[in-house]
């Protein structure tokens, strides 16, 4: 687990400042690349450098690999509304050749991007000069074979597919299927299944829109494909429920195969109960045996074989329960926090306010609160655990609930699929923490 | 997070009272709740706040459907509980009978954009307009290929009237004293409306809320801002009825809206109120289904509940 114990060498921090608010963070399958999307529609990809030969025990750094504008703001003339260019989600495709592919989406349009390297160019053409000008054929007296010469590395991003006009409502999730041929996209009321090669049509597999919109009481908040079973996916709702669907059962998966809901504790019921039960993120474990859901105050781990309650519940910031009315007033209660597993599924991580983020070890049941702050970037710094005091007496180094900065929220975090490397997005700043020991 | 001097403790411990209140519709506990005026006041404030949240939306970007649904569900819950208590009837009757002040409307800006990092980054303030719940939902509809839906409903104004109910709770619980203060701000509002781009006014409205709040003497710590709109004192009954009247859904047709836009290109939500009170543009008063006999709160609840 990442948090430093006594005797550890500490943490290296890469801190990158963005000009816009970071809206999504995602490692690729190998962890070599880290993609970020921001509110301005840009995608920035970081690459893990190879460890230096001199100091192989230290991990390489993450440096900028590619930057491109993925989405532009659009104007829907029919409804006279702007379509934001903010990147809601990025999902990588598994690598099949030298190029990398990722899906990025805003509220309405999903795009498939190809990121490829060019580090060689051909020289010595017969029919044209190095400048590209055509040579006079009569002047060619001998033939030569063009030779590939190294050049400065150039990384190019090009849009290969644009999947548009399939969502009336705002897209909140995309998820690549384990068949590597299809993916799903989910908005507030519908889920569509796409083939990566086909952009002019998609299959609608879930539709919860009522005939009369006035009867609408529940929306889809997140969806994900099962990591191994290409026919299975889940979607979560604003009422705190998760439905697991099997695409083999029917073309339209309105009827779920499994329905996950924890019975409500009647003693803690309030007018805010439903709002705080709304699930903001759902993630399968790498093993595919469990899934994790994030609601406003907690993270829950579910066994896919047990629908009536989660197997583990972790309180993220229970001290906010008595502040729900104020958080409703300032809209913070609607913040959508994400969550993520580590590579071995032994730990989970999620964000909180005041630039705090939380990690839970599922085996030891230890948990830790850390802060993404510039203090962490000092040399020889170790991440100091933070604590929020809830009682009357505030201990030294503790911070009181009322002093928390609710504008500093960590909504997006990502964990390297294999190593102890985490990426934490704190508004405009990206923090990449790595264990010093390789 | 909390403005200085706010009675945080009261508000949050009061919230706990709200939280722990529900034990089911048993008559004794309902009676107990009736007796707890602080609980009733807080519940009423929560209802008012929720209704305002539903009405004030970003107009240039589509409102968040999930958030709207959650707030609407909260309103429904409160209304159900109040109906069980019997307080719902009492409240609607009281509001109908009350002589509401007609020379002031108090609206509370709960979506403080000053604390929004985007606003701090210097982005232009998002425009606001008053939108009813179902309009908020319908505004998501789009004519698509093969889609049977043909609604092209524009988000539009519904009466801003819930603020009147909050006016009767100016002394307010939750320690929201500073937030319910009335201020002379309509001069600023006028200026802000003139700054509007006419193109954006198809959606009826823009409040330069960011500008407004920065003009406000409060600091960025404040979660709330308030502004007050004065409109000329109309004859009480017909003006109130106009104010509370429903706008015919046919108004939402593209043609009507465009007509409305041409005739009044710079309408803000409060311009609408002015025009209603002074029997303004025909596009707006052409509604044939004015519900002049319903209290505005009841009316909104009917929209939400669909009764």
Q: Taking CB atoms and an 8 Å limit, are B74 and A84 in contact across chains?
A: no
Report d(CA A12, CA A65) in Å as an integer: 19
Instruction: Note the pLDDT of residue B159.
Output: 38
pLDDT at A175: 98
Three-class SS string for chain A?
CCCCCCCCCCEEEEEEECCCCEEEEEECCCCCEEEEEECCCEEEEEEECCCCCCCCCECCCEEEEEEEECCCCEEECCCCEEECCCCCEEEECCCCCCCEEEEEECCCCEEEEEEEEEEEEEECCCCECCCCCECCHHHCCCCCCCEEEEEEEEEEEEEEEEECCCCCCCCCEEEECCCCCEEEEECCCEEEEEECCCCCCCEEEEECCCCCHHHCCCCEEEEEECCCCCCEEEEEECCCCEEEEECCCCCCCCCCCEEECCCCCHHHCCCCHHHHHCCCEEEECCCCCEEEEECCCEEEEEECCCCCCCCEEEECCHHHHHHHHHHHHCCHHHCCCCEEECCCCCEEEEECECCEEEEEECCCCCEEEEECCHHHHCCCCCCCCCEEECCCCCCCCEEEHHHCCCCCECCEEEECCCCCEEEEEECCEEEEEEECEC
Residue written as tokens 């508004």?
A: A427
The answer, yes or no, to whether residue A438 has pLDDT greater than 80, is no
DSSP alpha helix (H) spans, chain B: 8-21, 27-35, 37-55, 65-85, 87-97, 117-120, 133-138, 162-167, 186-194, 209-215, 236-244, 254-263, 269-277, 282-285, 296-305
**Residue to substitute from A213, A239, A279, A320, interface B, most B β-carbons within 10 A:** A213
B119's CB contacts (< 8 A; 6+ apart) are B113, B125, B210
> Given a cut of 80, is residue A280 above it in pLDDT?
yes
Handedness of CA A138, A140, A145, A146 (dihedral sign): negative
Q: What is residue B105's three-state secondary structure?
A: strand
Summarize the confidence of residues A356-384 as an average pLDDT. 82
Which A-chain residues 250-309 have CB contacts (< 8 A) with chain B? 266-272, 274-275, 278
Indicate yes or no: CB of B73 within 8 angstroms of CB of A274. yes
Tally the residues of chain A: 438
> What is the distance between the alpha carbons of residues A329 and A312, in angstroms, rounded to a whole number?
30
CA distance A428 to chain B (A): 9
- State the first-to-last Cα distance of chain A, in angstroms, to the nearest integer: 13
- Alpha carbon A147 to chain centroid distance? 42
Which tokens belong to A37?
Answer: 């999307």
Report the C-alpha gap between A44 and A38 in whole angstroms. 8
Task: Choose among A181, A204, A299: nearest CA to A251.
Answer: A204
- Rounded to whole angstroms, the maximal C-alpha distance in chain A is 93
Give the SS3 label for residue B122: coil
Alpha carbon distance B165, B277 (integer Å): 18
Identify the pLDDT of residue B32: 56
pLDDT score at B30: 54
Question: What is the complex's ipTM, to 2 decimals?
Answer: 0.90
Q: How far apart are CA A166 and CA A205, in angstroms?
A: 12
pLDDT for the residue numbered B36: 76
pLDDT at position A224 over 90: yes
Q: Supply the pLDDT for residue B35.
A: 52
Q: How far is CA B113 from CA A137, A359, B208, in A?
A: 68, 31, 10
3-class secondary structure per residue, B200-264? HHHHCCCCCHHHHHHHCCCCCCCCCEEEEECCCCCCHHHHHHHHHCCCCHHHHCHHHHHHHHHHC
Q: Distance between CA A129 and CA A143 in Å, rounded?
A: 13
On the 0-12 / 13-18 / 19+ scale of CB atoms within 10 A, B184 is exposed
Which residue among B61, B143, B303 places its CB closest to the CB of A81? B61
| Mutation target vs A (from B66, B110, B133; most A CBs, 10 A cutoff) | B66
Other residues' Cβ atoms within 10 Å of the Cβ of residue A149: 10
Which residues in chain B are contacts of A165 at CB distance < 8 A?
A: 144-145
pLDDT for res B242: 45
Cα–Cα dist A325/A272, whole Å: 8
Q: What's the pLDDT at A421? A: 94
**Three-state SS at B123:** coil
A197 falls in which pLDDT band (50, 70, 90)? very high
**pLDDT over 70 at A73, yes or no:** yes
**Quick one: pLDDT at residue B65?**
93
How many other C-beta atoms lie within 10 A of the C-beta of residue B84?
15
For residue B69, give Cα distances in angstroms to A251, B45, B141, B300: 28, 19, 15, 15
Torsion of CA A76, A80, A83, A84, to 10 degrees: 150
Residue A57 pLDDT: 62
pLDDT at position A9:
52
Instruction: Find the CB nearest A80 among B73, B111, B203.
Output: B203
Q: Is A17 on the interface with B (CB under 8 A)?
A: no
Residues in chain B with CB shorter than 8 Å from the CB of A168 are 140-142, 144, 147
- Please indicate whether, in this complex, the C-beta atoms of A325 and B143 are within 8 angstroms of each other: no
Confidence check: pLDDT of A158 > 90: yes
pLDDT beneath 50, residues of chain B: 2-27, 101-236, 239-294, 307
Give the predicted TM-score (pTM) of the model.
0.68
Return the SS3 of B59: coil
Give the pLDDT confidence score for residue B60 in this predicted structure.
56
CA neighbor of A23 nearest in space, from A39, A8, A34: A39
* Mean predicted lDDT score pLDDT of chain A: 91
Least confident of A72-76, A152-156, A228-232, B89-93: B89-93
Q: Return the higher-pLDDT residue of A378 and B150.
A: A378
CB A117 within 8 A of CB A153: yes
DSSP state of B61: B
Q: Of B140, B149, B154, B158, whose CA–CA distance to B259 is shortest?
A: B154
Percent of chain A with pLDDT over 70: 93
Of A190-204, A306-320, B169-183, B193-207, the range with the lowest mean pLDDT is: B169-183
pLDDT given for residue A274 in this prediction: 96
List the single residue in A170, A324, A427 with the smallest CB-CB distance to B65. Answer: A170
Which range (A106-115, A260-269, B243-252) has the least confidence? Answer: B243-252
Nearest CA-CA distance, residue A172 and chain B, Å: 11
What's residue A90's pLDDT?
A: 98
Nearest Cα of chain B lies from the Cα of A167 at a distance, in angstroms, of 9
* Interchain CB distance below 8 Å, B110 and A330: yes
């Amino acid at each position: 687990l990442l948090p430093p114990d006594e005797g550890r060498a500490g943490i290296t921090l890469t801190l990158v400042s963005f000009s816009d608010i970071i809206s999504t963070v995602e490692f690729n399958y190998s962890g070599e690349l880290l993609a970020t999307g921001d509110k301005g529609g840009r995608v920035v990809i970081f690459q893990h450098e190879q460890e230096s030969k001199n100091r192989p025990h230290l991990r390489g750094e993450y440096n900028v690999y590619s930057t491109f504008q993925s989405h532009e703001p659009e104007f829907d003339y029919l409804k006279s509304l702007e379509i934001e260019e903010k990147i809601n989600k990025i999902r990588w495709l598994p690598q099949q050749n030298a190029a990398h592919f990722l899906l990025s989406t805003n509220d309405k349009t999903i795009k498939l991007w190809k990121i490829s390297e060019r580090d060689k160019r051909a020289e010595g053409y017969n029919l044209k000069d190095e400048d590209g000008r055509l040579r006079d054929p009569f002047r060619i007296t001998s033939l030569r074979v063009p030779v590939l010469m190294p050049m400065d590395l150039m990384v190019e991003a090009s849009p290969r597919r644009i999947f548009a006009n399939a969502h009336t409502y705002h897209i909140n999730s995309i998820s690549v299927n384990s068949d590597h041929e299809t993916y799903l996209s989910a908005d507030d009321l519908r889920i569509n299944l796409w083939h990566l090669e086909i952009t002019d049509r998609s299959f609608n597999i879930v539709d919860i829109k009522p005939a009369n919109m006035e009867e609408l009481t529940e929306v889809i908040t997140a969806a994900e494909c099962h990591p191994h079973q290409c026919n299975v996916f889940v979607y979560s709702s604003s009422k705190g429920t998760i439905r697991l669907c099997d695409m083999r059962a029917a073309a339209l998966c309105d009827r779920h195969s499994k329905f996950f809901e924890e019975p409500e504790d009647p003693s803690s019921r309030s007018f805010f109960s439903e709002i705080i039960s709304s699930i903001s993120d759902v993630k399968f474990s790498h093993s595919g045996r469990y899934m994790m859901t994030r609601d406003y105050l907690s993270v829950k781990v579910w066994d896919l074989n047990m629908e009536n309650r989660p197997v583990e519940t972790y309180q993220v910031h229970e001290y906010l329960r008595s502040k729900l009315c104020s958080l409703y007033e300032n809209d913070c209660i609607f913040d959508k926090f994400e969550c993520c597993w580590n590579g071995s599924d032994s730990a989970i991580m999620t964000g909180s306010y005041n630039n705090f983020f939380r990690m839970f070890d599922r085996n030891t049941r230890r948990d830790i609160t850390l802060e993404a702050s510039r203090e962490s970037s000092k040399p020889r710094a170790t991440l100091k655990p933070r604590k929020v005091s809830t009682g009357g007496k505030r201990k030294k180094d503790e911070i009181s609930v009322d002093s928390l900065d609710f504008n500093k929220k960590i909504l997006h975090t990502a964990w390297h699929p294999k190593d102890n490397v985490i990426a934490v997005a704190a508004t405009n700043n990206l923090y990449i923490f790595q264990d010093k020991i390789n | 997070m909390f403005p200085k001097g706010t009675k945080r403790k009261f508000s949050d411990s009061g919230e706990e009272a709200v939280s722990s209140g529900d034990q089911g519709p048993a008559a004794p506990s309902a009676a107990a709740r009736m007796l707890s005026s602080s609980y009733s006041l807080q519940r009423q404030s929560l209802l008012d706040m929720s209704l305002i949240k539903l009405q004030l939306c970003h107009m240039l970007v589509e409102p968040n459907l999930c958030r709207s649904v959650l707030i609407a569900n909260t309103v429904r819950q409160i209304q159900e509980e109040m109906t069980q208590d019997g307080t719902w009837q009492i409240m609607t009757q009281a509001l109908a009978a009350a002589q509401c002040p007609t020379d002031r409307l108090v609206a509370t800006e709960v979506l403080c954009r000053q604390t929004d990092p985007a606003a701090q980054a210097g982005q232009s303030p998002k425009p606001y307009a008053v939108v009813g719940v179902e309009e908020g939902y319908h505004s998501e509809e789009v004519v698509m290929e093969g889609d049977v839906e043909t609604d092209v409903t524009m988000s539009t104004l519904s009466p801003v009237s819930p603020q009147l109910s909050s006016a009767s709770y100016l002394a307010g619980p939750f320690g929201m004293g500073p937030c319910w203060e009335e201020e002379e701000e309509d001069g600023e509002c006028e200026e802000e409306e003139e700054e509007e781009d006419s193109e954006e006014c198809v959606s009826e409205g823009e409040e330069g809320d960011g500008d407004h709040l920065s003009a406000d003497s409060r600091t960025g710590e404040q979660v709330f801002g308030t502004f007050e709109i004065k409109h000329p004192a109309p004859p009480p009954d017909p003006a109130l009825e106009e104010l509370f009247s429903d706008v015919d859904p046919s108004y939402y047709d593209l043609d009507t809206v465009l007509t409305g836009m041409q005739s009044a290109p710079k309408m803000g939500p409060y311009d609408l109120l002015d025009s209603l009170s002074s029997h303004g543009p025909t596009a707006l008063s052409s509604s044939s289904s004015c519900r002049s006999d319903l209290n505005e709160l009841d009316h909104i609840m009917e929209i939400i509940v669909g009764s």
